[in-house]
Amino acid sequence: AFDPKLPGSWLVDLSHVDLSRVKVGKEWVELDGSLLPSPFTPKGEHPEGPAWYATPTVAYAVELGYEVRP
């Protein structure tokens, strides 16, 4: 299970994260995801499959409201 207090790298698939729908507080908010670069890849492209991510990056995906499974 992902632990945001544990520093390190995590093999996680973030390709399911859709930036057009993110959680703000306790509710989901709709955005124009086509205008936003992905914060999970160096060039802002949508991730394709599993990759290694640092703890803060995975914690950000969780903060946006998405489930992660290392």
Q: What is the pLDDT of residues 34-60, one digit of tens each?
A: 888 999 999 999 999 999 999 999 999
Supply the mean pLDDT for the chain. 92
Distances (CA, A) of 65 to 33, 43, 47: 15, 23, 17
Q: How far apart are CA 19 and CA 16, in angstroms?
A: 10
Higher local confidence (pLDDT), 51 or 25: 51
Q: Inform me whether the pLDDT recorded for 13 exceeds 90.
A: yes
Length of the chain: 70
Q: Is the dihedral of CA 52, 56, 60, 65 positive or negative?
A: positive
pLDDT > 90 in the chain, percent: 66
